[in-house]
Amino acid sequence: MLLIGNDDGEIKYLKEFFLQHLLIKDLGTLKYFMGIEFSRSKHGIFMSQRKYALDILDDTGLIGVKSEKFPMEQNLKLTLTYGDLLHDTTKCRKLVGRLIYLTITRLDIVYSVRTLSQFMQEPRKTH
């Protein structure tokens, strides 16, 4: 459970209430939660999924590849039936699922991931 707010007194009150009534542990200031890193500055809170993204790249063997300006070929027309079916659809589905979670902080890949997710019932090599 995360307690977030701009009233320090109210947060302190809630912590004390929960500590008295539930078995909880105060872990202090939020730094990392569910694959999202949090850092604070005078300008606000910064959220990053850098480690999560690097884990995806590592698992797929793509660490060190050249980056692209666009995550998907522009004007690409994907269909449900064009191309050979993938032999192992589990890896593809898992990757797209992980990419969906990555879109929390990477808005630049939302369109591409949404487009790919439409073909997960029968993923093909073209996808």
Q: Model confidence over 13-57: pLDDT tens digits?
A: 998 999 899 888 888 888 888 889 999 889 988 999 999 999 999
CA neighbor of 68 nearest in space, from 101, 36, 108: 108
Q: What is the percentage of the chain residues whose pLDDT exceeds 70?
A: 98
State yes or no: pLDDT of 12 exceeds 70: yes
pLDDT of the residue at 62 = 86
Confidence of residue 127 (pLDDT cuts 50, 70, 90): low
| Whether the predicted pLDDT of 10 surpasses 90 | yes
Quote the mean pLDDT of the chain.
85
Report pLDDT digits (tens) over 36-45: 999 988 998 8
Start-to-end CA distance of the chain, whole Å, equals: 37
**Distance between CA atoms of 81 and 124, rounded to whole angstroms?**
8
H/E run at residue 41: strand 36-41
What share of the chain has pLDDT > 90, as a percent? 21
